[in-house]
Amino acid sequence: MSICNGAAGFRGRNPKGIFIHNDAGSQNADAAFYRNWLPTHPLENGFAHAYVASDGILYAEDDAYCAWHCGQTDGNTNYYSIEICQSMGDLEVFKQNEENALKLAAQKCRQYGIEPNTSTIRLHKEVYGTSCPHRSVEIHGGDAATKRHFIERIKYYMGDGRNQIINATIRENSGADFMRLKFEAVDSEDGIYRIRDKANGYLLTAAANKADANVDFRGFDCGEYQEWKLINKIYKNARYTMLECVATPGLYLSVESNGNGGKNNLKLYTDLHNMKQKFYIREESDGRTLIIHAFSGKCVSAK
Ligand SMILES: [Zn+2]
């Protein structure tokens, strides 16, 4: 059960839009603070579904229930509500919270089929005598500009309707941007990296935690499914690297059918002790990296 316990009633249908708030709270009013504060104060004074702060997101109410967040019946009943926290605190912290709130809004828009526009993405002050969202309005230069910014960023995080998934394949080295990869260290001591293609800025991603799952490139955050541990091996005079996905221990990047028979897809597989999982990692003069399949000599590509 949520911490607000369905206090404002069951909606019984999907939200039709999202209200975005600024909490007018201090630097200390983070998610942990609201987790303690909400159950010890009358909810009639107001609460939102989600509180986005520097320490994470507090989901105070389940999506299927209403929230008393904007002092107007239609808004309270029919909209999802997000508080951007610490709005009286440090500017950089607030801006990061705002960005994370817009990511959450994008996730909810995708989930509920909400198209972000001026009637679905709402500011508290549109329906009530308040300056909320005060800090966002101050930063973005007024109400209309703030709405525009919110809608733009939500669309960006939704991929603007595009499906932000691209196949991961092996291809002949053509020097193209879709095979020039950037290794971003998550933990360089342990050899763990995120691997981003230059053409799209998408991350190499394991689609599921099971053998034979697809591997692709994605333009949205999938956590440890986008973290790869480089395991360097030496066999006689040959050196090669295996890539184990952090979210799927024991499963390694593999080339389907070793690239034979017209196959060029990348998959996850248990350690096969064969060439399908052996790669050379080669740094190029522009600081980008090629992942070269040892057997075929082809490069991992986002295409
Ligand atoms: Zn508000």
Distance from the Cα of residue 238 to its chain's centroid: 38
Q: What does the pLDDT look like over 80-127, one tens digit per residue?
A: 999 999 999 999 999 999 999 999 999 999 889 899 999 999 999 999
- Residues 291, 210 within the same domain: yes
- Residues 193, 148 within the same domain: no
What's the confidence (pLDDT) of residue 163?
A: 62
Q: Which of 143, 158, 173 is the last residue of a domain?
A: 158
What's the rounded mean pLDDT across residues 29-35? 97
- Residues 143, 264 within the same domain: no
- Residues 150, 60 within the same domain: yes
- Residues 226, 151 within the same domain: no
Return the amino acid letter for 232.
N
**Does some domain include residue 268?**
yes
- Cα(298)–Cα(239) distance, integer angstroms: 17
**Does some domain include residue 79?**
yes
- Residues 128, 255 within the same domain: no
**Does some domain include residue 291?**
yes
CA of 79 to the centre of ligand 1 (A): 13
Task: Work out the number of other CB atoms within 10 angstroms of the CB of residue 176.
Answer: 16
What's the confidence (pLDDT) of residue 161?
A: 45
| Tokens (6 digits) for 152 | 């733009």
CA of 272 to the centre of ligand 1 (A): 56
Domain that holds residue 92: 17-158
What's the confidence (pLDDT) of residue 226?
A: 94
CA of 275 to the centre of ligand 1 (A): 58
CA of 264 to the centre of ligand 1 (A): 51
- Residues 182, 230 within the same domain: yes
Which residues are in the CB-under-5-Å shell of ion ligand 1? 21, 124, 132
> In this structure, are residues 75 and 19 in contact, taking their beta carbons and an 8 Å threshold?
yes
Q: What CATH number should be reported for the domain holding residue 217?
A: 2.80.10.50
Q: What does the pLDDT look like over 3-27, one tens digit per residue?
A: 999 999 999 899 999 999 999 999 9
What's the confidence (pLDDT) of residue 174?
A: 95
CA of 243 to the centre of ligand 1 (A): 46
Q: What CATH number should be reported for the domain holding residue 69?
A: 3.40.80.10
- Residues 58, 113 within the same domain: yes
**Does some domain include residue 65?**
yes
**Does some domain include residue 148?**
yes
- Residues 148, 213 within the same domain: no
Q: What does the pLDDT look like over 280-291, one tens digit per residue?
A: 999 999 899 999
Count: domains in the chain: 2
Q: What is the mean pLDDT of the chain?
A: 94
Q: Which of 158, 185, 211 is the last residue of a domain?
A: 158
| Tokens (6 digits) for 185 | 């260290």
Answer whether residue 205 shows pLDDT above 70. yes
CA of 102 to the centre of ligand 1 (A): 15
**Does some domain include residue 175?**
yes
**Does some domain include residue 193?**
yes
- Residues 90, 214 within the same domain: no
Q: Exposure pattern of 200-223 as b/e (b: 16+ CB <10 Å)?
A: bebbbbbbeeeeebbbbbbbbeee
CA of 51 to the centre of ligand 1 (A): 12
- Residues 171, 278 within the same domain: yes
- Residues 231, 173 within the same domain: yes
Q: Which of 158, 189, 215 is the last residue of a domain?
A: 158
The torsion angles phi and psi of 259, rounded to 5 degrees, stand at 85, 5
**Does some domain include residue 181?**
yes
Return the amino acid letter for 260.
N
CA of 23 to the centre of ligand 1 (A): 6
CA of 11 to the centre of ligand 1 (A): 20
> In this structure, are residues 228 and 268 in contact, taking their beta carbons and an 8 Å threshold?
no
CA of 172 to the centre of ligand 1 (A): 54
CA of 44 to the centre of ligand 1 (A): 14
Coil, helix or strand at residue 167: strand
CA of 1 to the centre of ligand 1 (A): 24
